[in-house]
Structure 1
Amino acid sequence: MSSAALQGLASLAMAPTAESQNMAAQFVEQLKQSVDGWKICAEGFTSGTYHQSDHVKFFCLQVCEHYTKT
């Protein structure tokens, strides 16, 4: 998984369909289970690349929170 994966997450989270939103939620779960998922999200959150995307920032914080609790 790479930081480019967050770009796909941004487009999925913004999509108006329930299917796209479910795919985004599944992707977040994959990031939570990935060894480097928290690193990808922490970098995405702090880099400023997604400063306009509240959805991506929210998902990134969820992944980082999951990492700190496990």
Structure 2
Amino acid sequence: MPILALIVIGAAAGFLATRIMKVNTDVPTTVAIGVGGALIGGLTLRFLMMLTGWAAGFIGAILGAMLLIWVWKTYVK
């Protein structure tokens, strides 16, 4: 069940992050960005997530996805 939650939260976070950062990507890339961001955000905000629950995890996923987009735009393209 946690993997399914990670995919769902990651997909939503990826969608929001790509819209905030104004990046046009296809659906698999958006989901991959979101899941990667959820992993980054979940690991870095683990303590905060224990205190506040899924809301902090979702915010961390969005921030992590935005970080991945920034790194991708800065160093890959």
TM range (shorter): 0.3 to 0.5
TM-score when scaled to structure 2?
A: 0.34
TM-score when scaled to structure 1?
A: 0.36
Per residue, is there more helix in 1 or in 2? 2
Bigger Rg, which one: 2
